[in-house]
Amino acid sequence: MAVWRNPLSASLLLCVLLHTVHVNARPANMSSLKDKPQSSKDENEILPPDHLNGMKLERDGHLNKDFHQEVFLGKELEEFEEDSEPRRNRKKLIEIFTKVDFNNDQSVSAKEMQRWIMEKTEEHFQEATKENKNSFRAVDPDGDGHVTWDEYKVKFLASKGLNEKEIAEKMKKNEDLKLDEETQEVLESLKDRWFQADNPPADQLLNEEEFLSFLHPEHSRGMLKYMVKEIVRDLDQDGDKKLTLSEFISLPVGTVENQQAQDIDDDWVRERKKEFQEVIDADADGIVTMEELEEYMDPMNEHNALNEARQMIAVADENQNRSLELDEILKYSEYFTGSKLMDYARNVHEEF
What's the pLDDT score for residue 25?
37
What's the pLDDT score for residue 73?
92
Reported pTM? 0.76
Say how far apart CA 216 and CA 209 lie, in whole Å.
10
Give 287's strand partners. Answer: 244
How does the average pLDDT of the chain come out, rounded? 82
Nearest C-alpha neighbor of 351 from the set 148, 81, 116, 96: 96
What's the pLDDT score for residue 256?
45
DSSP tag of 194: H
Q: Which residue has the higher pLDDT, 54 or 7?
A: 54
Question: Looking at residues 196-209, what average pLDDT do you find?
Answer: 92
C-alpha distances in Å from residue 147, one per residue of 63, 204, 232, 267: 32, 9, 29, 44
C-alpha distances in Å from residue 276, one per residue of 195, 270, 273, 297: 31, 10, 5, 12
Dump pLDDT digits (tens) for 57-70. Answer: 988 888 998 999 99
Give 206's strand partners. Answer: 147
Say how far apart CA 262 and CA 130 lie, in whole Å.
41
Dump pLDDT digits (tens) for 260-286. Answer: 555 656 788 899 999 999 999 999 999
